[in-house]
Amino acid sequence: MAAPLVLVVLAAVTVRAALYRSSLAVFIAERVEVASPLNAWKRVVEGLALLDLGVSPYSGAIFHETPLIIYLFHFLIEYAELVFVITDVLTAVALYLAIQDFNKVVFKKQKLLIELDKYAPDVAELIQTPMEMHYIPLKVALFYLLNPYTVMSCVAKSTCAINNSVIAFFILATIKGSAFLSAVFLALATYQSLYPLTLFAPALLYLLQRQFIPIKLKSKSFWLYTMQYASLYLCSLVVIICLSFFLLNSWDFIPSVYGFILSVPDLTPNIGLFWYFFAEMFEHFSLFFVCVFQINVFFYTIPLAIKLKEHPVFFMFVQLAIISVFKSYPTLGDVALYMAFLPVWSHLYRFLRNIFILSCVLIFCSFLFPVLWHLWIYAGSANSNFYYAITLTFNIGQILLISDYFYAFLRREYYLTHGLHLTRQDGTEAMLVLK
Amino acid sequence: ELLLSPLPTGDVAATFQFRTRWDADLQRGSVSHYRLFPKALGRLVAALGVRELHLALTQGFWRTRYWGQPPLQAPAGAELWVWFQPTVTDVDKAWKELSNILSGIFCASLNFIDSTNTVIPTASFKPLGLANGTDHHLLRYAVLPREVVCTENLTPWKKLLPCGSKAGLAVLLKAERLFHSSYHSQAVHIRPVCRDASCLAVSWELRQTLTVVFDFFSSGQGKKDWSLFKMFSRTLTDTCPLASQSKVYVDISPKNKEKELLEVSPPPTSLHEAVVQGDRKTYAVYDLLSPSLFNTSRSLNVQLKWKRPQDSSEMPIPTLHAQRYVGGYGLQTGEICTLIYNTHPYRAFPVILLETVPWYLRLYVHTLTIITKGKENKPSYIHYQPAQDRRRPHLLEMLIQLPANSVTKITIQFERALLKWTEYPPDPNHGFYVGSSVLSALVPSVTAMKDVDVEQSPLFTSLFPSSDGSSYFVRLYTEPLLVNLPTPDFSMPYNVICLTCTVVAVCYGSFYNLLTRTFHVEEPSRGGLAKRLANVIRKFRGVPPL
């Protein structure tokens, strides 16, 4: 399996190198879909220039990166393109290894459930075979590396790639079972962009499952393990934040980074829902709606944890998708990360209801984004409503895609336990509804 | 005094200066006897601990390239800069109070001066009066480029004069002629000065200046002879009895090193030669207090006639001039370009450039490039304070060395922000103004200056302290800029809230369904009303039911 992966990596590196050298690189770097105020490369360069001038980068409203990014690029600014290509490759390799391990886990679990007779007798066609699962890790790496969203994000040198890489390593560490590494990478991801905090729940559920600790609220070992993992996570977070303090000897980065993510003062257009909403919001209700929108990202965690406690990796996928739709400054790089997981659920294809129309919606919206931006900003013949409409459509497409996959997943689980050919009491073929 | 200077393009500039000196020491106890000094300003200075105050309201732009170096320039709009006493503890509070009180005194909207357009320059705007120390935290500078000047601002300004507009030179200040001009600038300067040569006591000096440029074509009707009556539709009838000195200076310096081709009538009381702003200038002086002036006629109408048509082949170019413009296209990014010209043939000199850019044009200082004669020119001092959204503007101050006979181009890129819909002015597509940038320099003079008798020269020469005779201080302002920002649709707040909340609700609804409901086998239902009706019809037709 290594050889095809190397080929895929080579192809991806070639595509990125070719685009870096072409005239499209400048055009892509300015696109608001890939570069948001949080992760644009121009702002990283600006922060380093301010540091050279002797002014704290956090004294203005331009730079919103964490001090560790300053540390990193202070030394690697000359090799920036190489850094981003390597980051993408590392993400893909991490996802490849993670999914490889995950396949083994899935297969073992399936075998166990079949031996325990938990499955209905006629579901042979729903069981995943090693043959069809063989190419899934390669497909995941392919989906990530050759996704146009990822390529554009890499060419624009958006630091979203670094965030994706950290999350990919976190997933790898979790699936391999190392609680310590998982906590450290999760702390790094949270430190950079705050929202991966919600990935704590799926990671905890997975690790508990792996240690064969039952998830019962009264169980002592459950609480013990949870406390261990939580304290590992919080300690690493505290250590990283204290390290950042020592870079510039001030706590200025906390309002500049986390205050900025939470209070959304910058209304630069992006593919998310926040910017136009708060551009048109009555001043009186601004704080209320900021709180509502931020809570909206975090509050799906507990219900999903209750429903999907047996399937933590799918929970992680859904959670990643919710973060990238509802975060305050989303970019296409965030979308690319959860889309890389779609091959893992390719066995759900037969239960998806709207996949054709949703993929059409997503593709059309991706093409219409730059067109309507040009019409608004450069041609002056459209106004902001056009771009906003495409933002709405793109987000609805993403939301319906995720809920479609969720529906298909739950339906397959039902069929696995109740049998594929369902009959009603009078013997005719039955239909399944959600009630 | 009134200074009339014909400009190379055929226009004429008239600068009025009214100086009042008040021998009071505000530090020692409160003052109650104001005499000629306006009480409103005196109480302001005493109560708020102001050391120096400079307020200018300007309409139009002084074209330095064509009109020459201005005696006193001000940027378009309203400009206020103030040095506070070191005893003032909360400078920001005093600044806010001061701008509000001045707004009331001059009927100008100076109350719009707040932290989003106030900056603290570190190198420009050094004190022009007596100063003990210069802690720049006591200085505040703000400019409102959108402010207009009109009769409403002129009237309170005239009221501050000791004689008002009833006697003396101020009778010429009639609004209908003053505002029918290319450039109109009225200013108030308050500063502490030495009472006498020994400088043992401090006096307060109030200067009120008004500069107006009458256009050759619209006011001059295309003819190049000017007179006081043509410019102001009034003539001088008498002097203000409270004035200790009242003079009219006419600049009759020959251009192009030829004999005077400018003739003034009636004949002046005296001629005065001085080196002003690096050039040797000759002034025809009318001393209004001399009894011989009003002997023949009751009114004085100074007339300027040109002896032969001046060929406009060679217009003298000022040593230092600058221009600024916005480059780029579209509503996403842009570039501010400043061009500074040093036309001195062999002397290089440094210039301090102060730029204040509002926070919604996000400057990227790593894109700052300064190019002189094709090579990069690094500034020897650079002070940059980045903006904070909705709290303070960008401040960029640089000391740039200008080589002799060169053009320096300074460019910096910016990104345009999208504001909240309530933050746009009533006409959002008009654009947003960026205040003029300020250039301060000690320009080397072509002719060496001696310690001239300050009392004889026009008053503006004593406003700027000159350290030595080889250079003179110049403060230039560039054009204000007008920049468009992307606008949201102002008619849509309710629609946007509904649509965005709908998207969020779609997600919530789908997830709620999937999380709270489980799959069930569908029970056969008896069917709704439509189905039963259809079955009834089918029974009549003899067809099997649904």
The secondary structure of B35-64, three-state, reads CCCCHHHHHHHHHHCEEEEEEEEEECCCCH
B388/A278 touch (CB, cutoff 8 Å), yes or no: no
Q: According to the model, what pLDDT value does residue A83 have?
A: 95
The verdict on ipTM greater than 0.85 is yes
- CB within 8 Å: A46 and B332: no
Edge-first strand listing for the sheet containing B349-357: B381-385, B394-402, B349-357, B438-444, B471-477
Query: Given an 8 Å threshold on Cβ–Cβ distance, is B507 in contact with A277?
Result: no
Evaluate if residue A203 carries a pLDDT over 90: yes
B361 vs A contacts (CB less than 8 Å): none
Query: Quick check: A74 and A49 in contact, CB under 8 A?
Result: no
**Which DSSP helix (H) or strand (E) runs through B142?**
strand B139-144
The pLDDT score that the predictor gives to residue B310 is 59
Interface-testing mutation among B396, B397, B418, B429, with chain A (most A C-beta atoms within 10 A): B418
Express as a percent the part of chain A with pLDDT over 70.
97
Nearest CA to CA, how far is A114 from chain B (Å)? 22
**pLDDT reading at A143 higher than 90:** yes
The candidate with the shortest Cα–Cα distance to A43, out of A55, A25, A29, is A29
CA–CA gap between residue B127 and residue A145 (Å, rounded): 62
Which residues of A are less than 8 Å from B382 in CB distance? 53
Contact B36, B19 (CB under 8 A): no
Q: Round to whole Å and give the CA distance between B236 and A170.
A: 87
Looking at the partner chain, which of B387, B496, B517 has a beta carbon nearest the beta carbon of A280?
B496
Cβ distance of A266 and B389 shorter than 8 Å: yes
Q: Is B373 exposed, middle or buried (0-12, 13-18, 19+ CB in 10 A)?
A: exposed
How far is the C-alpha of A284 from the C-alpha of A278, rounded, in Å? 11
- Return residues 325-364 of A near B (CB < 8 Å): 325-326
Contacts of A53 in chain B (CB under 8 A): 365, 382, 384
Residue A42 with chain B: CB contacts under 8 Å: 364
B340: DSSP letter: E
Which residue, B381, B295, B287, B55, is CA-closest to B186? B55
User: Are A278 and B420 inside 8 Å of each other by CB?
Assistant: yes
- At residue A248 the predicted structure's pLDDT band, cuts being 50, 70 and 90, is confident
Residue pair B379/B322 in contact (Cβ under 8 Å)? The answer is: no
Chain-chain contact of B500 with A48 (C-beta, under 8 angstroms): no
Q: Does the pLDDT at position A231 exceed 60?
A: yes
Residue ranges of A 261-280 with Cβ closer than 8 A to chain B? 265-269, 273, 275-280
The two tokens of residue B349 are 């000199």
Closest by alpha carbon to B323, among B345, B368, B353? B353
For A101, residues 6+ apart whose C-beta sits below 8 A from its C-beta are: A172, A175, A176
Say how far apart CA B23 and CA B201 lie, in whole Å: 8
Q: B77 phi and psi, to 5 degrees? A: 105, -145
Does any CB of chain B come closer than 8 Å to the CB of residue A56?
no
- Closest C-alpha to B36, from B153, B206, B171: B206
Cβ <8 Å between B365 and A282:
no
pLDDT at A130 (0 to 100)? 83
Q: How far is A350 from chain B (nearest CA, A)?
A: 17
| Tokens encoding A5 | 């992966």
Compute φ and ψ for A69, nearest 5 degrees. -70, -35
Residue A427 has pLDDT above 80, yes or no: no
- Predicted TM-score (pTM) of the model is 0.91
Residue B263's pLDDT is what? 83
Show which of residues 392-431 on chain A sit within 8 Å of chain B, judged by CB atoms.
392, 395-396, 399-400, 403, 406-407, 410-411, 414, 422, 424, 426, 430-431
Radius of gyration of chain A (CA): 23
Residues of chain B with Cβ-Cβ distance to A376 below 8 Å are 331, 486
For residue A347, the 8-state DSSP code is G
**Which amino acid belongs to residue A60?**
G
**Nearest chain A Cα distance for residue B365, angstroms:** 7
Assign B379 to helix, strand or coil. Answer: coil
Per DSSP, the three-state class of B108 is coil
Distances (CA, A) of A2 to A87, A135, A139: 19, 12, 13
Report pLDDT for A87: 95
Rounded to 5, what percent of chain B is helix, strand, coil? 20, 35, 45
Give the contacts of A187 (CB within 8 A, at least 6 positions apart).
A233, A234, A236, A237, A240
Q: Which of B486, B500, B520 sits opposite A277 (nearest CB)?
A: B500
CB contact burial B13-33 (16+ within 10 A = b; e otherwise): bbbbbbbbebebebeeeebee
Range from A244-248, A266-270, A344-348, B458-462 carrying the lowest mean pLDDT: B458-462
3-state secondary structure of B330: coil
Please determine, for residue A17, whether its predicted confidence score (pLDDT) is greater than 80.
Answer: yes
DSSP per position, A369-420: HHHHHIIIIII-SS-HHHHHHHHHHHHHHHHHHHHHHHHHHHHHHHHHHH-S
Please list the ranges in chain B whose pLDDT falls under 50: none
Sequence length of chain A is 435
| CB within 8 Å: A281 and B503 | no
**Three-state SS at B364:** strand
pLDDT tens per residue, range A300-318: 999 999 999 899 999 999 9
Question: How far is it, in rounded angstroms, from Cα B238 to Cα B246?
Answer: 10
Query: B546 or A154, which is more confident?
Result: A154
Locate the chain B residue with the closest alpha carbon to A279. Answer: B420
CB-neighbour burial class of residue B450 (10 A; exposed 0-12, middle 13-18, buried 19+) = exposed
Contacts of A136 (CB under 8 A, 6+ apart): A99, A103, A343, A344, A346
Is A129 near chain B, with CB under 8 Å?
A: no
Q: Which of B357, B360, B363, B365 best tests the A interface by mutation, with the highest count of A CBs <10 A?
A: B365
Which positions 378-397 of A are in contact with B (Cβ < 8 Å)?
Answer: 378, 380, 383-385, 388, 392, 395-396
Contacts of B331 in chain A (CB under 8 A): 376-378, 380
Closest-approach residue (CA) in chain B for A267: B418
pLDDT on residue A5:
92
Question: Residue B130's pLDDT is what?
Answer: 84
Q: Which amino acid is at A282?
A: F
Contacts of A338 (CB under 8 A, 6+ apart): A317, A320, A321, A324
Q: Where is average pLDDT lowest: A42-56, A77-91, B240-254?
A: B240-254
Residue A345's pLDDT band (cuts 50, 70, 90) = very high
Contact residues, chain B, for A281 at CB < 8 Å: 420, 493, 497
- Rg of chain B over Cα atoms, rounded to whole angstroms, equals 32
| DSSP category for residue A259 | I
3-state secondary structure B189-256: EEEEEECCCCCCCEEEEEEEEEEEEECCCCCCCCCCCEEHHHHHCCCECCCCCCCCCCEEEEECCCCC
Q: Got the DSSP string for A49-110?
A: HHHHHTS-GGGSSS----HHHHHHHHHHGGGHHHHHHHHHHHHHHHHHHHHHHHHHHHHHHH
Q: Which residues of A touch B380 (CB under 8 A)?
A: none
- Best mutation target among A271, A276, A311 (most B Cβ atoms within 10 Å) is A276
User: Does B514 contact A407 at a Cβ distance shorter than 8 Å?
Assistant: yes
| Chain A residues whose beta carbon lies within 8 Å of the beta carbon of residue B489 | 280, 383-385
Q: Contact A281/B333, CB-based, under 8 Å? A: no
Q: Which of A276, A403, A433 lies at the smallest CB-CB distance from B514?
A: A403
In chain A, the N- to C-terminal Cα span, in Å, equals 44
Chain mean pLDDT for chain A: 92
Residue A152 DSSP SS3: helix
Residue A195 is classified by DSSP as: G
Among A11-25, A65-79, B120-134, B300-314, name the one with the lowest average pLDDT. Answer: B300-314
* B421/A432 Cβ within 8 A: no
Whether A431 and B519 lie within 8 Å, measured CB to CB:
no
Q: Is A41 on the interface with B (CB under 8 A)?
A: no
